[in-house]
């Protein structure tokens, strides 16, 4: 008898979580590792948000809530879309889940069937292809180019569209590249979705983390027609340094939200009541802390991009948003260390962890082997020391 399902056997753990685990276990052995692996802000959750959660506990707000979140939370989400994006949603078009990842998972379960094709531009967030595949659908990977700001070209998109195309996933600003779409580019994507009749899944989790006064636009705001064809996946994790609280949310057509709610009602039920109260405060309360965090991220981005571009053989696109850089290290994939060849992003990441004691995430995990992902959601001091170590380790390669 076989123990595991084919579904379970087809999965491997999220590589970004795995790299952090390895770095942490080295730390536990007393090795000083500098980690650029983090997929989360290094800041603490703002005090007003914590206070709302403590109040919720003290007031006994500790029971089941409606499956898709309280009306209070849904209203805070609705207000956020109105305030920030000029979008109008009804409660029946909103669902809160246990993190943006859970939102995406439930969405995939709600709209994908076996044989459906889902276009995913690469570099992509590591979890999209497995979650699409878990829903039985086929991830169709379309490559983007560094010199294009890692954005989908319409020619490449067109080539990937077939009668089976059910959806396109966009993530702007992007994890891992920091690329972000302009209004004009989104208009072209929306035009394609409408003329070829597929859905757009717009992962807007990094909406607030943008630099150089970049104006974030949600594709949904372009027209009523594209609103009917788009599902926004969002959450509080990145904007409010709330990764551990596990609140994500989805906005989209009522029929889809209702199906997601059914799936959620038979699996997790409601997201944590206390975290919902905290998220109401996050979305509706003062946004001052967000500004402070983004200012710090921008300063680090400027530094890290500059340093990386000064390393011989490395090129680094300057991110427009999120808190990652995605430098191209492929000129090192022909080198060796003590007779051992380094020939791809995984081997270089292993080398950097072993020799430089610096954790980065191999680009191959995001569907782009020439690159490594470095998160700058870490202190300036660590960024400086980490880059010194990387430079020194790269110099040892022959």
Please give the residue ranges that form the binding site for ligand PLP (CB under 6 A): 39, 99-101, 125, 171, 175, 203, 205, 235, 237-238, 243, 248
Strand partners, 325: 374
Q: Which is nearer to ligand PLP, 178 or 394 (CB)?
A: 178
Q: Which is nearer to ligand PLP, 100 or 327 (CB)?
A: 100
Q: Which is nearer to ligand PLP, 15 or 100 (CB)?
A: 100
Q: Minimum distance from CB of 338 to ligand PLP (Å)? A: 36
Q: Minimum distance from CB of 366 to ligand PLP (Å)? A: 10
Q: Minimum distance from CB of 319 to ligand PLP (Å)? A: 13
Strand partners, 311: none
CA-to-CA separations, 344 to 43, 331, 334, 368, 369, in angstroms, rounded: 32, 10, 9, 10, 7
Q: Which is nearer to ligand PLP, 39 or 121 (CB)?
A: 39
Q: Report the DSSP pairing between strands 230-235 and 248-251.
A: antiparallel
Q: Minimum distance from CB of 180 to ligand PLP (Å)? A: 12
Q: Beta strands of 179-264 (E only): which ranges?
A: 199-203, 230-235, 248-251
Secondary structure of residue 251 in the 3-state scheme: strand
Secondary structure of residue 108 in the 3-state scheme: helix
Q: Which is nearer to ligand PLP, 153 or 243 (CB)?
A: 243
CA-to-CA separations, 30 to 27, 111, 211, in angstroms, rounded: 5, 47, 37
Q: Minimum distance from CB of 278 to ligand PLP (Å)? A: 13
Helix (H) / strand (E) element for 312: namely none
Is the peptide bond preceding residue 270 cis, with omega within 30 degrees of 0? Answer: no
Q: Minimum distance from CB of 162 to ligand PLP (Å)? A: 25
Q: Which is nearer to ligand PLP, 129 or 235 (CB)?
A: 235
């Amino acid at each position: 008898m076989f123990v595991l399902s084919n579904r379970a056997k087809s999965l491997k753990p999220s590589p970004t979580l795995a790299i952090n685990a390895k770095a942490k276990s080295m730390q536990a052995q007393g090795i000083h590792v500098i980690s650029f692996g983090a997929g989360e802000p290094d800041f603490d959750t703002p005090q007003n948000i914590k206070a709302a959660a403590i109040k919720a506990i003290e007031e006994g707000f500790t029971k089941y809530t409606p499956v898709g979140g309280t009306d209070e939370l849904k209203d805070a989400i609705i207000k956020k879309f109105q305030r920030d994006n000029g979008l109008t949603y009804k409660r029946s078009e909103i669902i809160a889940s246990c993190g943006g990842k859970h939102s995406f998972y439930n969405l995939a379960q709600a709209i994908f069937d076996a044989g459906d094709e889902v276009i995913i531009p690469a570099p992509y967030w590591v979890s999209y292809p497995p979650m699409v595949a878990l829903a039985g659908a086929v991830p169709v990977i379309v490559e983007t180019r560094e010199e294009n700001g890692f954005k989908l070209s319409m020619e490449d998109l067109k080539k990937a569209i077939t009668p089976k195309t059910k959806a396109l996933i966009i993530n702007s600003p992007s994890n891992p590249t920091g690329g972000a779409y302009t209004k004009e580019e989104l208009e072209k994507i929306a035009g394609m979705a409408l003329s070829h009749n597929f859905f757009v899944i717009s992962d807007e989790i990094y909406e607030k983390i943008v630099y150089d006064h970049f104006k974030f636009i949600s594709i949904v705001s372009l027209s009523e027609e594209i609103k009917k064809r788009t599902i926004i996946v969002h959450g509080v994790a990145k904007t409010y340094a709330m990764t551990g609280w596990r609140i994500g949310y989805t906005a989209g057509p009522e029929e889809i939200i209702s199906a997601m709610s059914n799936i959620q009602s038979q699996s997790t039920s409601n997201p944590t009541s206390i975290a919902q109260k905290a998220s109401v405060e996050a979305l509706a309360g003062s946004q001052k802390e967000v500004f402070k965090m983004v200012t710090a991220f921008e300063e680090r981005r400027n530094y890290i991009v500059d340093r990386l571009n000064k390393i011989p053989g490395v090129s680094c696109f300057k991110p427009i948003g999120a808190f990652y850089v995605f430098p191209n290290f492929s000129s090192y994939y022909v080198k060796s260390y003590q007779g051992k060849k380094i020939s791809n992003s995984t081997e270089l990441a292993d080398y950097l962890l072993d020799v430089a004691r610096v954790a980065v995430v191999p680009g191959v995990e995001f569907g782009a082997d020439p690159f490594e992902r470095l998160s700058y959601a870490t202190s300036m001091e660590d960024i400086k020391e980490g880059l010194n170590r990387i430079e020194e380790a790269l110099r040892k390669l022959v």
